[in-house]
Amino acid sequence: MLAAFACDPARSRGRRFAQAPAPTRTEYQRDRDRIVHSSAFRRLVYKTQVFLNHEGDLFRTRLTHSLEVAQLGRSIARSLALNEDLVEAIALAHDLGHTPFGHAGQDALNECMAEFGGFEHNLQSLRVVDQLEERYPQFDGLNLSFETREGILKHCSRANAEQLERSEPGGVASRFLSQGQASLEAQLCNLADEIAYNAHDIDDGVRSGLITIDQLAEVALFDDFRREAVAEYPGLRGPPQGRRLLYETIRRMLSAQVYDVIEASSTALQRAAPQSVDEVRRMPPLLQFGSDMQQRSQALKTFLLHHLYRHPRVLQTTGQAKLMVRSLFDAYLAHPQQMQRGIEERSEATSAERVVADYIAGMTDRFAGREHERLRGLKLLVGESACFV
Ligand code: MG
């Protein structure tokens, strides 16, 4: 059922530590299972996507976001005869490296690590599955297959790519040095990620009251489907039906984007006609929106940036989150015995700063909050109306 350009588990580039095949599962199904059973995956449930974890029970967390990305990715993969299991594995792992408090946490940690190699969540996701998970007697990390690791490393700076390349020549970072692409399954996860967060940030944004359906009238991708929904179901107009109108609009938006990606990518794949994954890796990106949808999606992103991600209430709490991360970083560096795992356990190649950064990055929002209170005597962001990006 797989296309010639799909990743075939039987032809995987393999794992860093050779392991006998599993009797009933393919290599990518095995990767997905390892991810689902990891500690980092369980922590996603208490990590901020946009809205703070304690804000309300219905907002997305990193976990529900990752599940939505997997759902969208799988349904597109099936239509394009790509490998669904690989898409699922990459989608479920793509945000494992995120710090507590969303991008505010990452920015603060990156500033703390400026002199020590910086901090970047994509690279951290790879670090989690390659090194930080401690589950196997024979090796650190989850020992995932090349294709899953390639998909997890979505972005990488040149400096980081050069460093990774030294420890793994011709490995997952090579494409950032040779301007190559990742597999179509990896490309698909990037698009599914975008489709998912654009849609759920509208939903969560309206739920929080930070944006309104009326404001969204300026976004064509949203408003066209809102009109279509009201035309078909006039009863959706008016406040009592507000949420149903929102859901119906988002549902139509999601479907339109999924079909658009399938159509535009099918055309691109027919034209380029790659015969293998390695050919795909040498071609320009083939998984894509059509040009009209690309523009509409971009307009929606711009709207969310101005009206949600840079909302004054968001910016106010972002400052507090950064303060907490910086303050935790300084506290652990000065008193490493305050960490649950000793700094003396680190390997020679890992600086004390990196151990602290790994420790903070692994925290859930609520653990970071409790630790900040314990170490600094200051309770921040608790019971506040707050959200982050
Ligand atoms: Mg994501």
Q: What is the pLDDT of residues 53-103, one digit of tens each?
A: 666 777 888 999 999 999 999 999 999 999 999 999 999 999 999 999 988
Give 240 Cα–ligand 1 centroid separation in angstroms: 32
> DSSP assignment, residue 308?
I
Give 267 Cα–ligand 1 centroid separation in angstroms: 26
Give 79 Cα–ligand 1 centroid separation in angstroms: 22
Decide if 3 is inside a domain: no
Decide if 263 is inside a domain: yes
Decide if 250 is inside a domain: yes
Decide if 281 is inside a domain: yes
Range of the domain at 244: 193-309
pLDDT in tens, 155-185: 999 999 999 999 999 999 999 999 999 999 9
Side-chain-side CA neighbours of 340 within 13 Å: the count stands at 8
Using CA atoms, how far apart are residues 207 and 17, in angstroms rounded to an integer? 46
Q: At what angle do helices 312-334 and 352-361 cross, to 10 degrees?
A: 140
Give 227 Cα–ligand 1 centroid separation in angstroms: 29
Q: Assign 240 a pLDDT band (cuts: 50, 70, 90).
A: low
Give 383 Cα–ligand 1 centroid separation in angstroms: 26
Give 162 Cα–ligand 1 centroid separation in angstroms: 25
Give 186 Cα–ligand 1 centroid separation in angstroms: 13
Check pLDDT > 50 for residue 389: no
Using CA atoms, how far apart are residues 204 and 207, in angstroms rounded to an integer? 5
Contact status, residue 50 vs residue 60, Cβ threshold 8 Å: yes
Give 378 Cα–ligand 1 centroid separation in angstroms: 31
Give 65 Cα–ligand 1 centroid separation in angstroms: 7
Give 166 Cα–ligand 1 centroid separation in angstroms: 28
Side-chain-side CA neighbours of 111 within 13 Å: the count stands at 13
Give 349 Cα–ligand 1 centroid separation in angstroms: 29
Contact status, residue 169 vs residue 34, Cβ threshold 8 Å: no
Residue 24 — φ and ψ, nearest 5°? -120, -10
Give 294 Cα–ligand 1 centroid separation in angstroms: 18
For residue 301, give both structure tokens: 């992103």
Decide if 253 is inside a domain: yes
Could you write out the DSSP letters of every residue in 271-304? HH---SHHHHHHSPP-----HHHHHHHHHHHHHH
The b-or-e profile of 170-202 (16+ CB within 10 A means b, else e) is ebbbbbbeeeebbbbbbbbbbbbbbbbbbbbbb
Over residues 350-373, mean pLDDT: 94
Give 66 Cα–ligand 1 centroid separation in angstroms: 6
Nearest to 311 by CA among 238, 195, 204: 204
Over residues 12-21, mean pLDDT: 96
Residue 49 has what pLDDT?
A: 77
Side-chain-side CA neighbours of 145 within 13 Å: the count stands at 25
Residue 381 has what pLDDT?
A: 73
Give 230 Cα–ligand 1 centroid separation in angstroms: 31
Using CA atoms, how far apart are residues 183 and 285, in angstroms rounded to an integer? 9
Decide if 255 is inside a domain: yes
Over residues 285-298, mean pLDDT: 97
State which residues have CB under 5 angstroms from ligand 1, the bound ion: 95, 193
Give 287 Cα–ligand 1 centroid separation in angstroms: 17
Could you write out the DSSP letters of every residue in 151-164? HH-----HHHHHHH
Contact status, residue 77 vs residue 87, Cβ threshold 8 Å: yes
Decide if 199 is inside a domain: yes
| Cα 247 → chain centroid | 23
Residue 386 has what pLDDT?
A: 47
Give 67 Cα–ligand 1 centroid separation in angstroms: 10
Give 94 Cα–ligand 1 centroid separation in angstroms: 6
* Alpha helix stretches (DSSP H) within the chain: 27-36, 39-43, 62-80, 84-93, 102-112, 121-127, 146-152, 158-167, 174-178, 184-208, 220-232, 242-272, 277-282, 291-304, 312-334, 352-361, 365-376
Count up the domains in the chain and report the number. Answer: 1
Using CA atoms, how far apart are residues 292 and 139, in angstroms rounded to an integer? 47
Give 9 Cα–ligand 1 centroid separation in angstroms: 24
Give 189 Cα–ligand 1 centroid separation in angstroms: 9
Check pLDDT > 70 for residue 384: no
Decide if 298 is inside a domain: yes
Give 276 Cα–ligand 1 centroid separation in angstroms: 27
